[in-house]
Amino acid sequence: MKTGTPVQTTAEFFASLPSDRRADVTSLHALVRRTAPKLKPCIQSGMLGYGKYHYRYPSGREGEWCKLMLASQKNYISLYVCVMDGKKYLAEGYKKKFPKASIGKSCVRFKRLADLDAAALSELLARAAKSPAMGEN
């Protein structure tokens, strides 16, 4: 999940976005803030994150991460949803609801925000905000 963008603040993150993506990422940021207001924004690994938490896996690996992350990649916008739904990644359950997006285990990749169903996106964000993050303790 390297972005190659050495930003330190949310203002720098938005300023670093290509002009053709800035409106979509800004709108998505506003939706996250409305839908999950308790998840505070921060910068993590050059991405805009929400809901920073400490994780520790049974292997002993630990660190800091965020429940939600936004990144502007070369060919798409990525929304990382680092939350489990039982034993599945939450984002995986939205493949049918986001047919124009590429869905990985915890990532929703799309070219334009309009490619995502607004109601399903709001539902995903709200569920993510209420669910435990991966490895959270």
112 in a structural domain: yes
Find all residues with CB under 8 Å of 94, minimum gap 6, and list them: 103, 108, 120, 124
Would the pTM count as exceeding 0.95? no
pLDDT at residue 137 in the model = 55
Q: In this structure, what CATH number is given to the domain that contains residue 116? A: 3.90.1150.200
3 in a structural domain: no
CA distances from 115 to 13, 83, 84, 134 (A): 23, 22, 24, 27
30 in a structural domain: yes
Residue-range definition of the domain harbouring residue 37: 10-130
pLDDT at residue 3 in the model = 46
pLDDT in tens, 113-129: 999 999 999 999 999 99
2 in a structural domain: no
113 in a structural domain: yes
Residue 60 has pLDDT above 80, yes or no: yes
137 in a structural domain: no
Domains contained in the chain, number:
1
pLDDT range class, residue 47, cuts 50, 70, 90: very high
pLDDT above 90 as % of the chain: 82
